[in-house]
Amino acid sequence: MTFFALALVLAAAVFHATWNLLAKRVGDGGPVFVWLFGFCSVLIYAPLAVVVVFVVGPHLGPVQFLFMFGSGVLHLGYFVLLQRGYAVGDLSVVYPLARGTGPLLATAAAIVLFGERPSFLALVGIGLITVGVFVLTSESGSLRSGLGAGVVYGLLTGVFIAAYTIWDKQAVSALLIPPLLQSWATTLVTTLLLTPLAVGRRKEALALWHVHRPEVLGVAILSPLSYILVLTALVFTPVSYIAPAREISILIGAAMGTRLLSEGDSTRRMIAAGAMVAGIISLALG
């Protein structure tokens, strides 16, 4: 991995963990919150998307539009599951699980679909991530505290992360869709799919906007920005390097949850997150 790709991924990790902290503060905003920050994102990034279309002049045919639409569907599942996970579980559990299992599955898919072959070091990384997941989810009394549901949603979110990572890798590297345009179109599709629901629950949307306006705008800016950086790196870097390396945000997210939100059992959770980060580094180096 080049230094430029690594710099993009590390910057994306900081932005990603930050917007997840903001989303956790909203709590059970559900699909309405996803629509709200998606709507704001579409408006904020629309001028840049227009500039990309006219300056870069990408070829946009049926296949490109299919990949934009498909990414929007996958991201819709990701955002809704993630937000539900934050409603029933802690940030320091849901976030590391989602971000830890995502690259693991994405790497496995890259092996099958793209013919990438992991080294021994990469296999060690897979083992470390598995151990980290086990330690993180083996909390006594987790079902009684509601963390059991958070674990389930975290793992399901990881499945969608793997799916959209592989899907978008093809979009930006094989189909040559500009990263910013792919991200913007994805957000547009997700927002349009949720619009009928948001219209029916417009009072809830207005209430969320009045109470959580800073969080909505923060997620609206940082969520696309973090992913645009990742997509840019994916243009010239194998997915089996990018998917694991970007998950350094696991450690950041776990630290935010235990320190800023005062979530309990910080030592065990940080050890588990550290094991997962070590595994991710091994995957990237392998």
- The residue type found at 100 is G
pLDDT at 118 over 60: yes
Helix (H, G, I), strand (E, B) or coil at 218: helix
Q: Is the pLDDT of residue 142 over 60?
A: no
Summarize pLDDT for 197-227 with one digit per residue, the tens: 999 999 999 999 999 999 999 999 999 999 9
Q: What span, in angstroms and rounded, lies between the C-alpha atoms of 77 and 97?
A: 16
- Domains contained in the chain, number: 1
Six token digits for residue 204: 């809830």
For 49, 118, 121, 166, the CA distances from 58, given in Å and listed in that order, are 11, 33, 38, 21
Quickly state the pLDDT bin for 144 (edges 50, 70, 90). Answer: very low
Reduced 3-state DSSP string for 4-52: HHHHHHHHHHHHHHHHHHHHHHHCCCHHHHHHHHHHHHHHHHHHHHHHH
Contact 71, 168 (CB under 8 A): yes
Looking at every residue in the chain, the average pLDDT score rounds to 82
What is the spatial distance between Cα 252 and Cα 226, in angstroms, rounded to a whole number? 14
Quick check: 239 and 106 in contact, CB under 8 A? yes
Alpha-carbon distance of 79 to 75, in angstroms, equals 6
Higher-pLDDT residue of 79, 131: 79
What region does 89 belong to: left with phi over 0, alpha with psi -120 to 50, or beta?
beta
Within 10 angstroms of residue 115's Cβ, the number of other Cβ atoms is 7
Residue 265 belongs to domain spanning = 3-285
Q: Which of 18-27, 101-110, 165-174 has the highest mean pLDDT?
A: 165-174
| CA gap 127, 39 in Å, rounded | 40
